[in-house]
């Protein structure tokens, strides 16, 4: 029994590690990034505090009947503020020695004397201490799950004018004390609403489960609650693409977990090989990594190349030598991404069937060849979109039928590789440089794609959105490759203010508190990617 207990204790760390799913995408926000968030957040807090609603203050003291109403904040001075990380899941926001200027209407009745007017007041030594707890909700979205707040006002002054100014000054201690109490009681509820409602509506703009295009979607749900240290906030996202025809399909993650050690930039985003593999696996499962070209859709340059080489002999042996040519190109297995410190590459295996298609007769297969291709991939961020540019590096073809035919195919490799580099790779990368090409290369090239939808042209051009709130973008991005993953270090920039985005998505009272986790349709606006 004791031996079994010891064995269980030894295996416990391994069991915990095994049950922890590695992320396909990880984001780290550093203290420098938090400083930028503090600047924008402070403006938001000022706007919220300016909208504080203070209840009317009324009553009587002996023969004095008073009423204080229409309290408005006229000015805020929040000179000293801090926003810091607090392990394990918290952000701490402090405002010290702030001042709040007020203006309100007074009404006073003393015996037969009635006086009305306005009072200018100032609350000084305002201290606000708030702690925000961060967590993932049921949909896997980052949320502010709880908030604690303490607010105090050290002193308050009021200036009076009018006929009964001396009377007001006599009662100022009573009135100011009441106003200080009412004001301090409204600060925390205002900030609580701003955090749990308004800021959470901003976090709702972070994509969680969205459609990328008509074939695949991406799951950016959080795997666990955020991890907060004294200097960083780390978020582990699933980072898995899925085919839209099988949205519940899960691809097991065996890739190396991204590790972010740097803290010099405002934000770091890491992507493992699993992130890219799941995209290519989803396209493969969607059945779009295949193409069939026949007749006039076959590029004339390619047809001439085939007829003028080894296949010319095969064509002459066929009674249907003048029949249209048909090419069936299909990826035979999901492409694989390999990330090394020296660079990123994509390996693709495919087969190409070449047939003659005589009218009103069965097709005549001439050859079936296998193709192995290695593409170099340049990954970069632009704005908030992750983009990939591919380049053909290695290309090999061999026969699936005989070694003799494989030997004969050597003469095809160099011209076919050149043809692919000049015409196909620009199409895959979204550069339509071939659209103005004259001659036979221009005709039909739009229909031929070595990896027809490995990264479709439009998607390669627009990229895939990174899970950041609307209005926040990356700048000065630097990509660094590691063994099994890559990181992007960048600074942050607010293209829209918090208030602008919040007002755009301000929750309607009758709406559900949390949005549906169903995927959203892809946006047609590139700026939103």
User: Is residue 398 domain-shared with residue 310, that is, in the same domain?
Assistant: yes
360: helix, coil or strand? coil
Least confident of 154-158, 190-194, 329-333, 435-439: 435-439
Residues 6+ apart with CB under 8 A from 230: 84, 85, 86, 87
DSSP string, 178-222: HHHHHHHHHHHHHHHHIIIIIIHHHHTTS-SEEE-SSSEEEE--B
Q: 191 and 237 in one domain?
A: no
Where is the domain boundary, 152, 171, 204?
204
CATH number at residue 163: 3.15.10.10
Please identify which residue in the block is written with the tokens 């990356």. Answer: 474
CB neighbours of 426 closer than 8 A, spacing ≥ 6? Answer: 432, 433, 434
Indicate if 297 and 220 belong to the same structural domain. Answer: yes
Q: Are residues 180 and 266 in the same domain?
A: no
Spatial distance between the Cα atoms of 206 and 240, rounded to a whole number of angstroms:
16
Q: Which domain holds residue 348?
A: 209-432+458-493
pLDDT tier, 307 (very low <50, low <70, confident <90, very high otherwise): low
Indicate if the pLDDT at residue 347 is higher than 70: yes
pLDDT of residue 321: 59
Q: Do 307 and 401 lie in a common domain?
A: yes
Let me know whether 215 and 199 are in one domain. no
pLDDT confidence tier of residue 313, bands split at 50, 70 and 90: low
Q: Binning pLDDT at 50, 70 and 90, where does residue 451 land?
A: very low
**Percentage of the chain modeled with pLDDT above 70:** 74
**Alpha helix ranges (H) inside 30-150:** 31-50
**Residue that finishes a domain, picked among 204, 238, 258:** 204
**Alpha-carbon torsion (158, 159, 165, 170), positive or negative:** positive
247 and 380 belong to one structural domain: yes
What was the pLDDT predicted at 127?
A: 96
How many CA atoms does the CB half-sphere of 288 hold within 13 Å?
18
Examine the domain organization and report whether 199 and 214 are in the same domain. Answer: no
The gap between the terminal CA atoms of the chain, to the nearest Å, is 58
Give the pLDDT confidence score for residue 399 in this predicted structure: 73
Grouping H, G, I as helix, E, B as strand and the rest as coil, residue 322 is coil
pLDDT at 403: 65
Arithmetic mean of pLDDT, 28-53:
91
- pLDDT number for residue 391: 86
Q: Two tokens at 518?
A: 């169903």
Which range has the worst mean pLDDT, 87-96, 156-165, 511-520?
511-520
Tell whether 189 and 250 lie within a shared domain.
no
Q: What is the pLDDT of residues 57-68, one digit of tens each?
A: 777 767 777 788
Q: Given a cut of 70, is residue 318 above it in pLDDT?
A: no
In terms of DSSP H, where are the helices of 318-472?
A: 403-408, 410-419, 425-428, 457-462
pTM (predicted TM-score): 0.80
**C-alpha torsion 107→111→113→115, nearest 10:** -10
Regarding whether 316 and 465 lie in a shared domain, the answer is yes
Residue 510 lies in a domain: no
Beta bridge partners of 128: 95, 151
Q: Are residues 292 and 146 in the same domain?
A: no
Q: 93 and 235, same structural domain?
A: no
Residue 410 within a domain: yes
Q: Judge whether residue 83 has pLDDT over 90.
A: yes
Total domains present in the chain: 2
């Amino acid at each position: 029994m004791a031996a079994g207990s010891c064995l269980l204790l030894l295996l416990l760390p391994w069991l915990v590690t095994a049950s922890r799913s590695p992320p396909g995408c990880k984001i780290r926000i550093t203290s420098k990034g938090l400083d930028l968030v503090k600047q924008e957040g402070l403006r938001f807090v000022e706007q919220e505090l300016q909208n504080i609603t203070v209840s009317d203050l009324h009553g009587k003291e002996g023969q004095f009947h008073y009423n204080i109403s229409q309290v408005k904040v006229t000015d805020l001075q929040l000179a000293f503020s801090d926003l810091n990380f607090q392990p394990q899941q918290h952000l701490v926001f402090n405002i010290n020695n702030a001042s709040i200027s007020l203006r309100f209407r007074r009404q006073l009745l003393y015996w037969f004397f009635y006086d009305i007017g306005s009072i200018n007041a100032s609350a000084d030594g305002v201290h606000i201490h708030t702690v925000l707890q961060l967590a993932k909700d049921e949909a896997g979205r980052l949320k502010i799950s709880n908030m604690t707040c303490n607010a105090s006002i050290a002193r308050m002054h009021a200036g009076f004018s009018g006929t009964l100014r001396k009377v007001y000054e006599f009662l100022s201690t009573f009135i100011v004390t009441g106003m200080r109490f009412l004001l301090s009681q409204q600060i925390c509820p205002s900030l609580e609403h701003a955090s749990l409602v308004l800021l959470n509506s901003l976090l709702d703009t972070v994509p969680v489960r969205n459609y990328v295009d008509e074939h695949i979607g991406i799951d950016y749900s959080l795997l666990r609650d955020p991890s907060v240290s004294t200097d960083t906030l780390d978020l582990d996202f699933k980072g898995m693409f899925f085919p839209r025809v099988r949205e519940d399909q899960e691809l097991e993650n065996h890739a190396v977990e991204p590790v972010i050690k740097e803290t010099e930039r405002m934000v770091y985003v890491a992507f493992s090989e699993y992130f890219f593999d799941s995209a290519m696996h989803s396209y493969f499962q969607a059945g779009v990594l295949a193409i069939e070209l026949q007749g006039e859709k076959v590029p004339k340059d390619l047809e001439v190349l085939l007829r003028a080489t080894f296949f010319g002999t095969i064509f002459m042996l066929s009674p249907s030598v003048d029949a249209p040519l048909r090419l069936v190109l299909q990826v035979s297995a999901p492409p694989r991404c390999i990330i090394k410190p020296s660079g990123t590459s994509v390996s693709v295996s495919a087969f190409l069937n070449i047939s003659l298609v005589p009218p009103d007769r069965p097709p005549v297969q001439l050859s079936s060849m296998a193709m192995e291709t290695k593409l170099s991939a340049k990954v970069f961020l632009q704005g908030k979109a992750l983009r990939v540019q591919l380049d053909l590096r290695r290309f090999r073809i061999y026969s699936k039928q005989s070694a003799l035919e494989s030997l004969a195919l050597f003469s095809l490799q160099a011209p076919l590789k050149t043809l692919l580099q000049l015409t196909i790779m620009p199409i895959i990368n979204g550069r339509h440089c071939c659209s103005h090409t004259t001659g036979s290369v221009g005709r039909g090239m739009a229909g031929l794609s070595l990896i027809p939808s490995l990264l479709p042209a439009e998607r390669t051009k627009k990229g895939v959105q990174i899970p950041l709130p609307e209005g926040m973008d990356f700048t000065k991005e630097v990509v660094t490759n590691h063994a099994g993953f890559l990181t992007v270090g960048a600074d942050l920039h607010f293209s829209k203010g918090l208030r602008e985005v919040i007002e755009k998505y301000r929750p309607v009272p009758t709406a559900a508190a949390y949005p549906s986790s169903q995927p959203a349709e892809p946006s047609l606006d590139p700026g939103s990617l």
